[in-house]
Structure 1
Amino acid sequence: MPGGTIDVVRRLYEQPPDGFVAARAAAIGEARLAGDRETAKRLAALRKPTVAAWVVNLLAIRRPELIDELAELSTALRAAQRELRGEQLRELSNQRRQFVSSLVAAARRLAVEAGAPAAKLPLGEVEATITAALAEPEVAAQVRTGRLIRAATHSGFGEVPRPRLRLVTDDSADDSADADDSVPEDDAMSPEPAEAAAASAAARDRATAEQRRRRRELDRELNAALAAERRADGQLERAEEAERDAGHLVEDLDAELAELERRRAEAVADVARRKLARRTAEREAAAARRRVGDAQAALDDLTAGGT
């Protein structure tokens, strides 16, 4: 994106959202007048941010060094949680809470300086977005651009350590069964030991076979659920995109309607001015004709008297 376009985009996302649509329409108009259709197309694709997203954008645009510190703290927190360093993790967590509070306060000051009423700022959403940026590198990258269009949330923080599960194999099942079914020395001399051992082995085989069958069923159910989840996520993403596009179209039409109303008002005023000028010209023409008639009559009288 050319440097000039980047500056225009930054200015659009820097100003309060209630002026975004009109400012974007003006920027698109200027690009079209300059014959820069590509820039006009890029500007038309920009989405209006929510108030919370605008406040975060202000922070990213005007205080980028704070966003850099946020990224550094995020990296340290994820590393500490992966390595389960309890004391360091507690210290970083306390630092995180203090840092998030300071960023929210800085964002609030910037928004108030930009003309937003402090009482109406959605600081809870701003805090949730900053917290999500700390937890998720993807959100942090979006925040860094200064072009968020909505607030972000995160249900937890960092990477949750995976539980260490013991995989039960055929050998371990056999070992467990052997331990549970071990025959006391006194019972070794009991009648028909071969039949008892065979029955125990058959029971273990049945249990192992049942376990494998159940595992295959669960694998199929898991794969089906994952596929359904991917389809649902895709549908949700398409629905959200369609909703955004529809909202964007409404914003564009509102801006065009406002521009047409402005031009119509100017045209009505121009018609009124031209009508007044016409009436004035008509009066002057009528007066001139009267003067011509009077002069002609006086001339005729003078000519008749002379003869």
Structure 2
Amino acid sequence: MPTAHDVDELIRRMYEAPPDSFVAARAAAVAQAREAGDRAATKRLAALRKPTVAAWVVNLLALRRPDLIDELVELSTALRDAQRGLDGAQLRQLSAQRRQVVSALVAQARELASGASVGGKLPLAEVEATLTAALAEPDIAAQVRTGRLVRAVSYAGFGEVPRPRLRLVTDEVDADAADDEGAADDEGADVAAEAAPDGTVSDIRIRAAEQRRRREFQERHRALARELSAAQAAESRADQQLERAESAERDAGHTVEDLDAELAELERRRAEAQADVARRKSARRDAEREAAAARRRVGDAQAALEDLEAHDPG
């Protein structure tokens, strides 16, 4: 009976091999475990799910280059620790470093997967999204480390959740304060214009116009920021809906794969049962022939005995 370590190694080989061979390998492993009478291994192997091509590429990286995944996790920890209190320059520097690390990992993953027949172009964008998510989320990094991903994952942002609030230019409170300040400036400018000598009225009017343009710019900026926020929220909802639809599609595909595997197993058992029926039918016919021959021998012996008794000289 295979040990738990043997089963682990078998599972590792299944997730390391191209996805096209997964279903057949799983069916063979389940049949072997069932034949060995290992119910725990049978149940464990039957529960495995076929990975997508993107998940398989990430699994290759985790299984063959675990040192790179360890470096990814270490960088992830450092980035989360450093995120609090970042200024714009530090954030840009860390973002550039993150992109470099992910790009290097994607290149390594591409190299590991090169030469394998996966029925099309490698989905490196999904690989990159998964590694970026692993860089941002410890739970996703832990899943990547197992080398048993079944689908690619993505992450909407970077950092801990909830993340520290970062201001790009200004926020609503600052903008409103700027409006109040601008209104006060306009009012002061009008009063000053009324009280100032004629020679300074033009300068005051120019400054007031500049302040109005600044307020208009700020109002437009806030409107665009709100529009961007709404668009990003809509995009996030659409991405989540797409992910749910893809997940449902994959689950349905897994169900079909499992049913195919079960059907193949039933077909095998049916063929064995038909062969057994044929053997038993042949055995029954042999027994019928032997029985008929035995009855003939009995009849011959009985007839001979009666003939002998009929000619008994006594």
With the length of structure 1 as denominator, give the TM-score of the two structures: 0.63
Alignment correspondent of 2:162: none
> In structure 1, which of residues 83, 89, 109 is the aligned counterpart of residue 90 of structure 2?
83
> In structure 1, which of residues 44, 65, 68 is the aligned counterpart of residue 67 of structure 2?
65
Aligned pairs for 1:221-260 (under 5 A) are 232=238, 235-260=241-266
**Runs of 5+ consecutive residues of structure 1 not aligned to the other structure:** 110-116, 191-196
Aligned pairs for 1:64-213 (under 5 A) are 64-72=66-74, 83=90, 97=103, 100-105=106-111, 107-108=112-113, 118=116, 120=118, 124-126=122-124, 129-130=127-128, 132-134=130-132, 136-138=135-137, 140-151=141-152, 163-165=168-170, 167-168=174-175, 169-174=178-183, 177=186, 183=193, 185-186=197-198
Once the two structures are TM-superposed, the CA of residue 249 in structure 1 deviates from its matched residue by: 1.8
**Number of residue pairs matched by the alignment:** 279
Q: Distance in 2 between matches of 1:189 and 1:134?
A: 58
1:77-124 residue CA offsets vs partner (Å, 9 max, x unmatched): 8979961677x987886676555434432x237xxxxxxx63547663
1:53 and 1:151 in contact (8 A); partners too: yes
Q: Distance in 2 between matches of 1:241 and 1:120?
A: 20
Indicate the percent of aligned positions where both proteins have the same amino acid.
56
Q: Distance in 1 between matches of 2:13 and 2:156?
A: 32
> In structure 1, which of residues 265, 271, 286 is the aligned counterpart of residue 271 of structure 2?
265
Q: Distance in 1 between matches of 2:53 and 2:277?
A: 41
1:55 and 1:108 in contact (8 A); partners too: yes
Specify whether residues 302 and 283 from structure 1 end up closer, same or farther in structure 2 by C-alpha distance, changes over 3 A only. Answer: same
Computed over aligned residues only, the root mean square deviation of the Cα atoms, in angstroms, reads 5.3
Once the two structures are TM-superposed, the CA of residue 133 in structure 1 deviates from its matched residue by: 1.1
Deviates further, 290-299 or 233-242: 233-242
Specify whether residues 224 and 246 from structure 1 end up closer, same or farther in structure 2 by C-alpha distance, changes over 3 A only. Answer: same
Q: Distance in 2 between matches of 1:74 and 1:123?
A: 29
Specify whether residues 121 and 65 from structure 1 end up closer, same or farther in structure 2 by C-alpha distance, changes over 3 A only. Answer: farther
Once the two structures are TM-superposed, the CA of residue 140 in structure 1 deviates from its matched residue by: 4.2
Alignment-mate amino acid for residue 137 of structure 1 = A
1:300 aligns to 2:306 (yes or no): yes
Q: Distance in 2 between matches of 1:140 and 1:24?
A: 26
Specify whether residues 63 and 94 from structure 1 end up closer, same or farther in structure 2 by C-alpha distance, changes over 3 A only. Answer: closer
Specify whether residues 171 and 262 from structure 1 end up closer, same or farther in structure 2 by C-alpha distance, changes over 3 A only. Answer: same
Once the two structures are TM-superposed, the CA of residue 297 in structure 1 deviates from its matched residue by: 2.0
Once the two structures are TM-superposed, the CA of residue 63 in structure 1 deviates from its matched residue by: 2.6
Task: Tell me the SS of whatever aligns to 1:66.
Answer: helix
Specify whether residues 59 and 262 from structure 1 end up closer, same or farther in structure 2 by C-alpha distance, changes over 3 A only. Answer: same
Alignment correspondent of 1:113: none
Q: Distance in 2 between matches of 1:260 and 1:49?
A: 25
1:16-57 residue CA offsets vs partner (Å, 9 max, x unmatched): 4334335545549759x65659x93x7655421023422321
Alignment-mate amino acid for residue 307 of structure 2 = D
Specify whether residues 23 and 67 from structure 1 end up closer, same or farther in structure 2 by C-alpha distance, changes over 3 A only. Answer: same
1:256-293 residue CA offsets vs partner (Å, 9 max, x unmatched): 11111111111111101111111111111111111222
1:50 and 1:150 in contact (8 A); partners too: yes
Aligned pairs for 1:8-19 (under 5 A) are 9-19=11-21
Q: Distance in 2 between matches of 1:119 and 1:235?
A: 31
Once the two structures are TM-superposed, the CA of residue 13 in structure 1 deviates from its matched residue by: 2.4
Q: Distance in 2 between matches of 1:237 and 1:128?
A: 12
With the length of structure 2 as denominator, give the TM-score of the two structures: 0.62
Alignment-mate amino acid for residue 83 of structure 1 = Q
**Runs of 5+ consecutive residues of structure 2 not aligned to the other structure:** 160-165
